[in-house]
Amino acid sequence: MDNMENASINTIQDERVDQSDIELLSFRIGDHEYSVNIMSVREIRGWTRATSLPHAPRYVHGVINLRGTVLPVVDLAKRLGLDTDEPSERSVIIVIDYEDRTVGVRVDAVSDILSVAVNTMQPPPEMLSDGSEKFVQGLIVIDDRMVRVLDIETVLPPEDEATA
C-alpha cells in the first residue's frame, strides 16, 4: 500500500460530516491505541468489581451488574495477548452491542471520538508475528498516530461452547 495519506479529522462539532464518514471511539490499552465503530458502543462505564466465572477463558474477566442485567466483561489486554498491567480502578468498561449480544470490554482509557472517511481505512498488514492482527479490522493514520480499528466479533467469547 503506497497510498499513505492522513485521514482528515472532523471534530464532533463540525457540521460538514460526510455521509461516507464513520465515527470511531478510540481508546488506549497500555501504549496501544484501538478504536471501535461508535454505532456499536452502548455506553461507557467506570470500573466495578466483576464476579469471576469458573473455568472461563483467561481473557473473560467475569460478569458485572449492568442495571439489573448480567454483563460479561472481556479483558481486552488479555484477549489481544498484550502485556499490560492488571486492571486497576482507573480502567474503563466499554459496553458494546454486537448483533444480539452485549459485552463489556475493559480498556485503560477512552481517548477520542474520531470521524474518518471510510476510504482512508487501510487493511491490516499480514504480519504474523504476535497474532494480534486477527483482531484488527483496519488501520487509520491520524497525526502520525496509528489507530487500529478493532474487529468486535473476534474479541467476543465464543457463543455457548459444547456442554459436557
Partner 1 sequence: MDVVKSSISGLGGRIHITSTPGHGTCFSISLPLTLAVLDGMVVQIEKETMVVPLNAIAETLTLRSGEIRALGPTTQVVLVRDTFVPLLDLGAELGYRQPKTDYSGSVALLITQEDGSRAALIVDNIDDQRQVVIKGLQDSYGHVPGVAAATILGDGQIALILDPADLIVNASGNTAPNPTLRKVG
Closer residue to partner 1 (CB): 3 or 69: 69
φ, ψ dihedrals at 154, nearest 5° = -75, -20
Closer residue to partner 1 (CB): 124 or 157: 157
Closer residue to partner 1 (CB): 16 or 158: 158
Of 145, 146, 144, which is closest to residue 136 (Cα–Cα)? Answer: 146
Residues 6 or more apart whose CB falls under 8 angstroms from that of 30 comprise 77, 82, 83, 84, 85, 108
Question: What minimum distance in Å lies between the beta carbon of 162 and partner 1?
Answer: 9
Q: Taking the CA atoms of 144, 145, 146 and 147 in sequence, report the sign of the dihedral they define.
A: negative
Amino acid 113 reads I
Question: What minimum distance in Å lies between the beta carbon of 110 and partner 1?
Answer: 23
φ, ψ dihedrals at 118, nearest 5° = -55, -35
Sort 74 into a burial class: Cβ within 10 Å, 0-12 / 13-18 / 19+. buried
Question: What minimum distance in Å lies between the beta carbon of 78 and partner 1?
Answer: 16
Q: Which residues bind partner 1 (CB under 8 A)?
A: 49, 51-56, 63-65, 68-72, 101-102, 157-161, 163-164
Closer residue to partner 1 (CB): 29 or 64: 64
Question: What minimum distance in Å lies between the beta carbon of 74 and partner 1?
Answer: 11
Closer residue to partner 1 (CB): 117 or 156: 156
Question: What minimum distance in Å lies between the beta carbon of 95 and partner 1?
Answer: 12
Residues 6 or more apart whose CB falls under 8 angstroms from that of 31 comprise none
